[in-house]
């Protein structure tokens, strides 16, 4: 019988920090707005001899903030190190990074998908997910340990032309954070969940835009596979520069299968650094993996160690906002939302805030407000390409419209029409309903008249329905909607229609 294999995955996440200036000089870090290549540069970030680095204080604050958000401890004493390697986009011939003493260590992040480590949070597992436990895992745990978070600097950008390359140093020296997980991840689903949650946290903290298309956030997946039931850590490969969640998932799946095949064929996996070819859908060998000692790390002689006081660390901690996990729990306990509804709303801070302001003004249930936001509202954002931050519809107006549906003053379908108007041109929901003559009618006498007329106009359909063709019921309801321009209270109409059909049963 063939042994089955399980993957072991550790993720390294690189995220630029949203500071004004670069990590070790005063040049603007906003290389995206630079008018031209090589305009945000100085002797330090182009690696000229004798230029001295100076630490960006703001970057250390943001790094500590991320560390605290990821439940790390902050090293009060931490140091910079030189990571030596030659590469055309690294003008000094080394990268200033952190090695032995990173700014943050030993954190964790709870995820919904399986991992071998138990979570302290309970009730965070959504139904239907994570049912396939990691075969050698100890149980239902959903915790990924964060080994370290350290500060380094981004590289320049190369543009490869036909037989030469151009270099732009505007990005060189931009503060970069590296978040390294322990190899706790056992499924690609968990890797995706972890990466998604880290991105959401960075966005909540305002330290990174999460804009993967611009390359400000990049993933590297370290992958090995081992027979199910084994506890060994086998040789891993590292897939570099995954620039989207899709690439992370596809590359990991491909690499897991490639390694399993190697073992099944009796071969050995070689430790190496891989690239991901998104077009061909394959990982490609870039170089045999270097070991830490190949970099000849040594303490950066041009920078003093960072020394933090307890008071400083506490002042950073006090800046932590309510994070996605806490917000999710609050939305569940205070508003009675389901886990998946709460997760959806808290996936983006702006979405969570908008929901809360609409809900605060509304008399309807959180579930109802959620379904308007998750449904019609999101559809509008997706179709129009409008960002939620650009939405001008005041939460009060949205709340008023939702309440009009709850109070049966307008039908759900007609309210969608009103919402589209509100989102496009603003206005008052009540006035729009009046102007467009969309008010819902619950008056039984009025609806009964229409139902009776439809039933007597369509004897054939009535007979067919009563002979068992139940799908016709929707057709009858459609006739009511048509005759009343969607204004009849659907519950009243349904009740009267059921009764009418019943009476005509022979």
- Which residues lie near ligand ADP (CB under 6 A)? 8-12, 180-183, 222-224, 233-234, 236, 292
CB of 66 to ligand ADP, least distance (A): 16
In three-state secondary structure terms, 224 is strand
Q: Which is nearer to Mg ion, 12 or 322 (CB)?
A: 12
Q: Decide: is 133 part of the binding site for Zn ion (CB under 5 A).
A: no
- The binder of 283, among ligand ADP, Zn ion, Mg ion, none, by C-beta within 5 to 8 A per type, is none
Q: Decide: is 18 part of the binding site for Zn ion (CB under 5 A).
A: no
* Cα-trace Rg, the chain: 29
Give the containing element (helix H, strand E) for 11.
Answer: strand 5-16
Q: Which is nearer to ligand ADP, 96 or 501 (CB)?
A: 96
Extract the runs of DSSP E, i.e. beta strands, from 128-279: 143-153, 157-160, 165-168, 175-181, 217-227, 237-242, 272-277
Distance CA 377, CA 368 (A): 13
What single DSSP character describes residue 145? Answer: E
Stretch in the footprint of Mg ion (CB under 5 A) among 7-15, 200-208, 322-330, 437-445: 7-15
Stretch in the footprint of Mg ion (CB under 5 A) among 8-16, 105-113, 191-199, 286-294: 8-16
What is the size of the binding site for Mg ion (CB under 5 A)? 1
Q: Which is nearer to Mg ion, 177 or 454 (CB)?
A: 177
Q: Which is nearer to Zn ion, 19 or 328 (CB)?
A: 19
Stretch in the footprint of Mg ion (CB under 5 A) among 10-18, 150-158, 184-192, 201-209: 10-18
Q: Which is nearer to ligand ADP, 142 or 332 (CB)?
A: 142
Q: Which is nearer to Zn ion, 27 or 497 (CB)?
A: 27
CB of 180 to Mg ion, least distance (A): 8
Q: Which is nearer to ligand ADP, 12 or 421 (CB)?
A: 12
Q: Decide: is 59 part of the binding site for Zn ion (CB under 5 A).
A: no
CB of 181 to ligand ADP, least distance (A): 5
Q: Decide: is 42 part of the binding site for Zn ion (CB under 5 A).
A: yes
Residue nearest to ligand ADP (CB): 10
In three-state secondary structure terms, 447 is helix
Give the containing element (helix H, strand E) for 64.
Answer: helix 57-69
Phi-psi region of 174 (alpha: psi -120 to 50; beta: other; left: phi over 0): beta
Backbone angles phi, psi at 89, to 5 degrees: -90, 10
Q: Is the dihedral of CA 429, 431, 436, 438 positive or negative?
A: positive
CB of 220 to Mg ion, least distance (A): 6
| Helices (H), ranges, 299-428 | 310-317, 324-335, 339-346, 349-361, 366-372, 378-384, 395-406, 412-425
Give the containing element (helix H, strand E) for 482.
Answer: helix 472-483
CB of 410 to ligand ADP, least distance (A): 54
- The binder of 45, among ligand ADP, Mg ion, Zn ion, none, by C-beta within 5 to 8 A per type, is Zn ion
CB of 167 to Zn ion, least distance (A): 15
CB of 11 to Mg ion, least distance (A): 10
Q: Decide: is 11 part of the binding site for Zn ion (CB under 5 A).
A: no
Distances (CA, A) of 309 to 101, 190, 239, 303: 16, 36, 38, 18
What is the size of the binding site for Zn ion (CB under 5 A)? 5
Burial class (CB in 10 A: 0-12, 13-18, 19+), 209: middle
Q: Which is nearer to ligand ADP, 223 or 472 (CB)?
A: 223
CA–chain centroid gap for 194, Å, is: 9
CB of 11 to ligand ADP, least distance (A): 6
Which candidate, 31, 60, 18, places its Cα nearest to that of 205? 18
Distance separating the N- and C-terminal Cα atoms of the chain: 65
Binding site for Mg ion (CB under 5 A): 12
């Amino acid at each position: 019988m063939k042994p089955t294999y399980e993957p072991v995955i550790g993720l390294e996440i690189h995220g630029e920090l949203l500071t004004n200036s670069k990590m070790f000089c005063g040049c603007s870090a906003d290389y995206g707005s630079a008018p031209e290549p090589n305009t945000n540069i100085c002797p330090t970030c182009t690696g000229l001899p004798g230029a001295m680095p100076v630490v960006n204080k703001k970057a250390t604050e943001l790094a500590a903030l991320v560390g605290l958000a990821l439940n790390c401890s902050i090293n009060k004493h931490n140091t910079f190190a030189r990571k030596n390697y030659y590469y055309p986009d690294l003008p000094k011939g080394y990268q200033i990074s952190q090695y032995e003493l990173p700014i943050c260590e030993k954190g964790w992040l709870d995820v919904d998908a399986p991992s071998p480590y138990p979570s302290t949070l309970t009730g965070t597992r959504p139904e239907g997910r994570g049912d396939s436990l990691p075969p050698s895992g100890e149980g239902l745990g959903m915790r990924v340990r964060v080994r370290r978070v350290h500060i380094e600097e981004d590289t320049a950008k190369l543009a490869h032309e036909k037989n030469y390359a151009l270099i732009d140093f505007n990005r060189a020296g931009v503060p970069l954070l590296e978040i390294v997980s322990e190899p706790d991840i056992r499924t690609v689903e968990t890797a995706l969940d972890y990466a998604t949650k880290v991105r959401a946290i960075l966005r909540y903290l305002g330290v990174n835009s999460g804009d993967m298309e611009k390359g400000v956030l990049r993933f590297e997946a370290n992958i090995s596979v081992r027979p199910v039931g084994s506890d060994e850590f086998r040789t891993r490969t590292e897939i570099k520069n995954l620039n989207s969640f899709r690439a992370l998932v596809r590359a990991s799946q491909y690499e897991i299968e490639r390694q399993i095949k190697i073992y099944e064929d009796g071969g050995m996996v070689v430790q190496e650094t891989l690239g991901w070819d998104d077009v061909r859908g394959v990982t490609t060998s870039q170089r045999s993996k270097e070991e830490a000692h190949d970099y000849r790390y040594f303490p950066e002689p041009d920078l003093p160690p960072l020394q933090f006081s307890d008071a400083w660390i506490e002042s950073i901690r006090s800046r932590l906002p309510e994070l996605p996990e806490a917000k999710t729990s609050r939305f569940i306990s205070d508003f009675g939302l389901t886990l998946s509804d709460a997760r959806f709303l808290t996936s983006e801070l702006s979405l969570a805030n908008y929901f809360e302001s609409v809900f605060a003004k509304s008399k309807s249930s959180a579930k109802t407000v959620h379904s308007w936001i998750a449904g019609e509202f999101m559809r509008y954002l997706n179709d129009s390409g409008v960002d939620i931050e650009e939405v001008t519809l005041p939460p009060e107006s949205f709340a008023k419209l939702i309440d009009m549906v709850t109070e049966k003053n307008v039908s759900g379908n007609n309210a969608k029409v009103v919402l589209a108007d509100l989102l496009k041109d603003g206005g008052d929901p009540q006035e729009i309903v009046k102007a467009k003559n969309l008010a819902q009618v619950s008056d039984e006498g009025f609806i009964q008249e229409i139902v009776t007329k439809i039933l007597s106009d369509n004897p054939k359909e009535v007979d067919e329905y009563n002979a068992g063709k139940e799908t016709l019921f929707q057709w009858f309801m459609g006739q009511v909607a048509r005759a009343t321009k969607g204004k009849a209270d659907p519950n009243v109409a349904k009740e009267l229609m059921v009764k009418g059909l019943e009476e005509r049963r022979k």
